[in-house]
Structure 1
Amino acid sequence: PEGSAGLAGAIVRETLLAGGQACRPLIARDGLSAVLIEPAVKFLQERGHTVQLGHELRSFTTGDGKASALNFGGEDVIQIGEGDVVVMAVPPRAAASLLPGLKTPTEFRAIVNAHFRFEPPPGSAPILGVIGGVVEWLFAFPNRLSVTISNGDRLVDMPREELAQAIWNDVCEAGGVSGELPPWQIVRERRATFAATPAQNALRPGPATALKNLFLAGDWTATGLPATIEGSVRSGDRAADLVLAAKRP
């Protein structure tokens, strides 16, 4: 009822209206870290680059319309060379704090994930969509059943045991399994996605900023898609294109 028809239309055009091949889902069987993050880090390290985790950017030093230094707190400052370009891929609230005046989405929606240590029955569908329940998507992995629930604001304050039992009841009915509640884990992210409403969609910035050598990436930027991995990838490709264009003589 509140979602942007424009964003929903983009999904339909790029999947259902594009034919069956465009609707085939890809499953990260060993998790997104193994599929996306670890190969990217390895790719960079093999080319002599460093990746520092737990290294929070606190502010930029600017001058002449450019970012001139990255400040990580105290004396931890990295100077930005004349030919260097920065791509900032951080959540929207952090981006707005680092770049005062940057317009970003201000409303967010929660995602709830549940994981159960339970062997799926033989022949279980890798992905099962559920209509009319608490569960929305049920994933069957070796030794594990996992659940994803979008727009889960109504569930973020529900007691964990109660929530796990409610989700497990749906899993049993939809997935054709039975038994007492197995070992479980609940993960709730209150600001997982921006609210995909027309008003919030209008607040999404493009990749360019007021600083000539600083570009944005992230699923919350103006990708034409809701907050999705596909949107993240698209934003990264677009930022990279702008970086290459900026570095050309």
Structure 2
Amino acid sequence: GAGGRACRPLIAVEGLSTAFVDPALRYLESRGAEIRYGRRLRALTLGQGRIERLDFTDEPTVVGPDDAVVLALPPWVATDLLPGTPAPQEFRSIVNAHFAVRPPEGAPLILGVVGGLTEWLFAYPDRFSVTISGADHLLDEGREDLARRIWVEIAELNGLARELPSWQIVKEKRATFAATPAEAARRPGVATRYRNLVLAGDWTETGLPSTIEGAIRSGTNAAQALFRTGMCGRAQAQGVA
């Protein structure tokens, strides 16, 4: 809404792990945090106004009096663990397509496509990648047929042969919550009725859509909420990728 000069797209050319995840893990480990994988959170033991225990698949973790919990989970999981928590209930899918072809020299790193099946085309150093949002209508389409349709558009845009190269299609059925007034009204704040528990995730009320920027802002909101309530000791963070 502020015009083109206010929009500065940044592309994670080497992948989102390199841009976001790996630096975050290095920072946490440098601060003494322990990162554990393969531990699904099954239940929360609820006490008088606070969370007392996290019941993981391997063993329970007691939440001490100075500990806080940041619950960073998809909305459908968070509401199972905390019944009554408001959360979006309607979702939209995203389809991503990847083609193992080195883009021709001069191909734009990001290209918006109008009137095609492709919406956003990324020309990474070693591949083309496509993102299609609101892709519910494509979920039942065969993966190879979908790959062929997308590749025809890429080939036309870049002057390439139409023969289908090596490809991968990824369909994420619940990639984002639906960007509607009804779903926006269901987004909760970070605070819960438990003083040592806050929520995080792009589905919480961040003022942004279901995006990486919204997810990052939700984490900042969660940390600030804990500081405001004085719960700034050790934090037990539970999330899923």
- Give the TM interval when normalised to the shorter protein: over 0.9
- Per the TM alignment, residue 157 of structure 1 is displaced from its structure 2 partner at its CA by 1.2
- Per the TM alignment, residue 175 of structure 1 is displaced from its structure 2 partner at its CA by 3.3
Q: Which aligned segments of 4 or more residues in structure 1 are displaced greater than 6 angstroms?
A: none
- Per the TM alignment, residue 248 of structure 1 is displaced from its structure 2 partner at its CA by 6.4
Answer yes or no: is 1:47 the counterpart of 2:31: yes
Which aligned pairs between 1:27-176 and structure 2 lie closer than 5 A? Answer: 27-73=11-57, 76-176=59-159
**How does the TM-score come out when normalised to structure 1?**
0.90
Answer yes or no: is 1:179 the counterpart of 2:162: yes
Which aligned pairs between 1:221-240 and structure 2 lie closer than 5 A? Answer: 221-240=204-223
Query: Would the aligned equivalents of 2:110 and 2:121 in 1 still touch at CA under 8 Å?
Result: yes
SS of 1:238's partner is helix
- Per the TM alignment, residue 171 of structure 1 is displaced from its structure 2 partner at its CA by 1.1
How many residues are aligned here?
232
- Per the TM alignment, residue 49 of structure 1 is displaced from its structure 2 partner at its CA by 1.3
Q: Please tell me the residue identity of whatever aligns with 2:96.
A: N
- Per the TM alignment, residue 152 of structure 1 is displaced from its structure 2 partner at its CA by 0.5
**Higher share of residues assigned helix:** 1
Point out where structure 1 has 5 or more consecutive residues left out of the alignment.
1-11
- Per the TM alignment, residue 169 of structure 1 is displaced from its structure 2 partner at its CA by 1.0
- Structure 2 equivalent of residue 245 of structure 1: 228
Separation in structure 2 between the aligned mates of residue 176 and residue 82 of structure 1, nearest angstrom: 63
* Percent identity for Structure 1 against Structure 2: 53
Query: Would the aligned equivalents of 1:105 and 1:203 in 2 still touch at CA under 8 Å?
Result: yes
CA RMSD of aligned residues (A): 1.4
Cα distance per residue 1:152-184 (max 9 Å; x no partner)? 001111001100001101112233333311000
